[in-house]
A and B are shown apart, each in its own frame.
Chain A
Amino acid sequence: MYNATVARLTYRALLGRKRAALLFALPLLLLVISVAVRLLAGADDGTTGDLLGGFALATMVPLIGVIAGTGAIAPEIDDGSIVYLLSKPVRRSVVILTKLLVAMGVSVFFSAIPTFFAGLILDGNSRHLAVAYGVAAAVASLAYSAIFLLLGVVTRHAVVAGLVYALVWESLIGSLVPGARTLSVQQWALASASHIADGGAISAQVGLPVAIVLLVVVTLGATWGAAGKLRRLTLAGEE
């Protein structure tokens, strides 16, 4: 279910110039802000929660998910170079699963690890906030990777669709419309964070069992959908 060559090509494409700059810029910004906040305001659980929940989990993680998830496949479909993968005796589900694993790895590396270190910088893992938000970022990265990989296969405007989802749905509607929060990856991730952090330090709108079920269903569903779509993918000619 994994092809090392597909993984290598995906990984090198993802860490190519422009995308790598974006992938490095956001975590770097988080770490710089964390250092500045710690130096200026000292250690504070409230500030840590605001920065890790409000910026890292609500904005940085979905954006990195968009870059890694769509970037793992959409550019190849757009420019047609995917033909070199599809004209091989390799099952298309293997292509999708491999690309998903690479996108997940890149997302977790560039979002969960910086989030954890930002937490350490901000207040030294007080009330387990650094670990809780780090785990939440990792959990969210897995789901985002699958969702945005699916978008990358089904639409030619995957990045725009991904940004709309990440910024409008997750950040705006998710924070204003109570019902929408139940269908928010961010809230599912927060459910896991609230379970890890000391009591009351992090609150979530969704219970942990529901969050786990929804995360698994969405991640598997998106992966299955992407594999099915890639199997039916047609490559039109120039005519």
Chain B
Amino acid sequence: MTTLSIDGVSRWFGNVVAVNDVTMTIGPGVTGLLGPNGAGKSTLINMMAGFLAPSTGSVTLDGAVVWRNEEAYRQLGIVPEREAMYDFLTGEEFVRANAELHGLPDPVAATRRALATVEMEHAAGRRVETYSKGMRQRVKMASALVHDPSVLLLDEPFNGMDPRQRLQLMELLRRMGAEGRTVLFSSHILEEVEQLARHIEVMVAGRHAASGDFRRIRRLMTDRPHRYVVRSSDDRVLAAALIADDSTSGLELDVKDGVLRVEAVDFARFTELLPRVARERGVRLYEVTPSDESLESVFSYLVAA
């Protein structure tokens, strides 16, 4: 169980502030670091990985400062965004070199285990330069896992992967998180984060914009109406009952699609109201779907704020 703490961290390059006074704690489980390009995600990950000194503040791993601390890498596994590897090596040689650099007692066995974890044994004897992007990503992953780290940092790990490889990597990261490892991955693709991590840290323009379960973040944003799609046995009766209450601000009876679209301004009250009025009016609810709780809408609200 390892915790990565970012405490009052800023980083600037000349006059440009890339990361501005960020404080966050990354604990066991899978955390998504989300933000548009240029938000400061990679700068933050580089500071967490000890590749960049914070201009102010500190990054610590279970209390130990990461910058200029080679020993931290015994616990850290890093999957960098950049493509470059030692292309002249085979996948097996590359992962074994990483195992040796970690000083593992049996680098050959550790290499075999790591390659099996990412299902790359079949191509382990081929040179890295012949690999597809997805294969490279998996071998990078194997090299990060070879010393069985308690913390895994991945910078845009799904870039360039096909859907099948993406699902495989997601499954692997879920497993790592479930095993109690601290897994942090960055992405600007919302669906990826939504599928993999309920806990997100959102960066916008160098600032830490939000932290926590993305659905809860969405609910906390009370200045925005919450939209729902409702299917019921009698949408018209339900609509009349809902609009009479202050918790709703708008309704659309979509006869063509056979749904009721509701805009609620008071989330807590509405979630209590809807089942109550349905029961009172004898209306059966077939489906209640939040239509704007996707990470994308949370994210666009935060960016626009």
For residue A239, which residues in chain B have a CB less than 8 angstroms away from its CB?
Answer: 18, 37-43
User: Which of A133-141, A155-163, A206-214, A230-238 lies at the binding interface?
Assistant: A230-238
B301 contacts A by Cβ under 8 Å: no
B88 touches A13 (CB 8 A): yes
B78 interface contact, C-beta 8 A: yes
By size class, the interface of chain A is 20 to 34
Known: A5-B100, A89-B103. A12 touches B89 (CB 8 A): yes
With A80-B80, A88-B102: A235-B46 Cβ-Cβ less than 8 Å: yes
Nearest A residue to B155 via CB reads: A237
How far is B101's CA from A83's CA once the two chains are assembled, in angstroms?
A: 12
Say whether B97 faces chain A, with CB atoms less than 8 Å apart: yes
User: Considering the chains assembled together, what is the distance between the CA atoms of A89 and B76 in angstroms?
Assistant: 10
User: Is B98's CB under 8 angstroms from A84's CB?
Assistant: yes
A16 CA to B86 CA, complexed, in Å: 11
Are B86 and A234 in contact, CB atoms less than 8 angstroms apart? no
Q: Which A residues between 54 and 101 are near B, CB-CB below 8 angstroms? A: 79-81, 83-92
How far in angstroms is the closest Cβ of chain B from A6?
7
The contact of B43 among A3, A5, A81, A237, by CB within 8 Å, is: A237
Contact between chains at B101 and A85 (CB < 8 Å): yes
CA distance A80 to B78 in the complex (A): 13
- B103 touching A80 by the CB < 8 A rule? no
B51 within 8 Å of A by Cβ?
A: yes
* Minimum CB–CB distance for B267 against chain A, Å: 35
Let me know if B85 is at the binding interface, CB within 8 A: yes
- B53 to chain A: closest residue by CB: A234
- Contact flag A89-B38 (CB < 8 Å), given A6-B101, A84-B143: no
Q: Which of B45-82 contact A (CB under 8 A)?
A: 45-46, 49-53, 68, 70-71, 73-74, 76, 78, 80-82
Known: A79-B82, A239-B41. A89 touches B73 (CB 8 A): yes
A43 to B143, CA, bound (A): 57
Cβ-defined partner of B78 (8 Å) among A87, A90, A92, A236: A87
| Structural contact, B70 and A238, CB atoms closer than 8 A | no
Task: Verify if B220 is at the interface (C-beta below 8 Å from A).
Answer: no
Closest A residue to B87 by CB, please name it: A81
CB distance from A149 to the nearest CB of B (A): 19
- CB-contact partner of B46 in A79, A85, A89, A236, under 8 A: A236
Contact (Cβ within 8 A) A91 B70? yes
A83 to B81 Cα, complex, angstroms? 11
What are the residues of chain A within 8 A of B88 when measuring CB–CB?
A: 12-13, 16
For A8, give the chain B residue with the smallest CB separation.
B97
B86 touching A237 by the CB < 8 A rule? no
Q: Which listed residue, B51, B71, B84, touches A79 by the CB 8 Å rule? A: B84
- Chain A residues positioned under 8 Å from B70 (CB to CB): 88-92
B52 neighbours in A (Cβ, 8 Å): 234-236
Q: How far is the CA of A235 from the CA of B38 in the complex (A)?
A: 16
**B37 CB contacts on chain A under 8 angstroms:** 239
Residue A9 is within 8 A (CB to CB) of chain B in the complex: yes
Contacts of A79 in B (CB 8 A): 82, 84
Q: CB-nearest residue of chain B relative to A233?
A: B51
Interface members, chain A 201-239 (any B CB < 8 Å): 231, 234-239
Q: Chain A residues near B103 (CB, 8 Å)?
A: 89
Chain A residues closer than 8 Å to B80, beta-carbon distance: 80, 83
Q: Nearest CB to that of B50 among chain A residues?
A: A87
Cα distance, A235 to B46, chains bound together (Å): 7
- Are B84 and A237 interface neighbours, CB within 8 A? no
A84 / chain B contacts, CB cutoff of 8 Å: 85-86, 97-98, 101, 143
Q: Do the beta carbons of A238 and B82 come within 8 Å of each other?
A: yes
Give the CA-CA distance A235 to B85 in the complex, in Å: 15
Q: Are A3 and B101 in contact (CB under 8 A)?
A: yes
Identify A87's interface contact among B38, B68, B76, CB under 8 A: B76
* Per-residue contact bits, chain B 173-208, to A (CB 8 Å; 1 contact, 0 not): 000000000000000000000000000000000000
- Measured CB to CB, the nearest residue on chain A to B49 is A87
**B45:A237 contact, CB within 8 angstroms:** yes
Report Cα–Cα, A112/B155, bound state, in Å. Answer: 45
List residues 10-62 of chain B with CB under 8 A from any CB of chain A: 13, 18, 37-43, 45-46, 49-53
- What is the interface of chain B, defined by CB distance below 8 A to chain A? 13, 18, 37-43, 45-46, 49-53, 68, 70-71, 73-74, 76, 78, 80-82, 84-86, 88-89, 97-98, 100-103, 143, 155
Top 5 closest pairs, chain A to chain B, by CB:
A237-B42, A79-B84, A80-B82, A235-B51, A88-B101
14 pairs, A vs B, C-beta closer than 8 Å: A5-B101, A9-B86, A9-B97, A79-B84, A80-B84, A83-B82, A84-B86, A84-B101, A87-B50, A89-B70, A89-B74, A236-B43, A237-B42, A237-B43
